[in-house]
Structure 1
């Protein structure tokens, strides 16, 4: 009976010791390698700052032309194109242009990073069941763990600034593109793969000439979800020094400014709708082409 009374106390002491060991180990790691990590991510920081300044310095008519052109190329819809341009005009009229350009910069860079890392990981998962078994639990953790939890080690390693915010956005946003790339390649018809083998294609030719093109609708669906999840991290990233539309929203929450929070929140929603409609429409066009439609 005495053991039963002492057991909770023993468990608390053990848990406390484990927590202290983890904290001390991570602090030691951050002190030993923090500077090297900052130097490693310095080119990424420079590129992000350059791209942000480029967007902010570009005259608004040029931005509107680029937005309209990209919307048209992606959707081939005058309604979506006109809606995208009008949304950016409204953002400028309501004096949210600079914050929107900063948000576009970090979302664009985060999406490019997620694509550069996520698609190769998805391809690796599709070609190896063992790799899929290892990577899938990691993706589960990345999707389910509260974002504030992984902000702690990122901030401890790299401090407050753009790069920690960018990494936090990427950690949260990368799982969809990895999962859907893997799924899209695995769903390619086996008869098509057998036909490719019959023509004597190499594994590399079969991957890039058959599997990846046929998986493009799923891959673009993953890119769409990655962009949406990156946008949903804008406000949280502003808590660790990332400029953009999240900063006014955070200030509105702190000071109970309803109008400020509502306007900037709607600007984030407008960006999300534009990205969603354009990427979804482009994915549908790819699907129609895959099925032999026009």
Structure 2
């Protein structure tokens, strides 16, 4: 086996000459993502009124939304700014770490949907059901599923022999871009990768749908329009974030004939834009979070004045 010392990332397909524009756009999105999610996390940690299971999961989601784009975005910004597009073999393998973060975050969405279901359908038993130990156990299960998923994909990918080329025709080392470089049979890795990712995404999406079907039935039973509006407002932000996350994954990994440009656009939406939208959605649609953010900004302003 010939171990590459360097691999060359060829970048986003069909974007030659747009590097400067893309650098400015993605840099702004990345900074906004880090800033927005760090503010939400700070607001949740610093506000005792937000120390509940729902906001515990929301704080974890903010952490994932900072880590997820950080796996691929810094390297992409480097070569868009004119730096070398080369990446080490180990660095390329490390970029598959985003599968761990992505699958764990997908599990977290399912956990948050279940939390909404318990809060709306069993409000009197909510704190009894969603005890701290239960919340921690659900998060540990999410991490375990993500670790198992990422381990399977990474081991299948990097046990192959790579000797054909060192050029990755993509903007990061994703499975569909790395596997064609193998000079041995990669059918097993391709098939298991597609089935694994597709099955996990569909199962998690199904679990979310089950929770929201029960939530929808509960909303229809509420007689007052004000009550229905309050419940719908509580879950609409979470449901919007789920749709933004699962849509790109299903499009990328379940398409029969891969389209490089479509895949890159959808992957960018999933890796970079969705984490930014989550911070906007959660802060603008949640009154408790908005109040906590105002207090954070007031504390920052007082600190600057001093």
Q: TM-score, normalised by structure 2?
A: 0.30
Q: TM-score, normalised by structure 1?
A: 0.30
Larger CA Rg, structure 1 vs 2: 1
Q: Give the number of the structure whose residues are more often helix, by fraction.
A: 1
Structure number with higher relative contact order (C-alpha < 8 Å, ≥ 6 residues apart)? 2
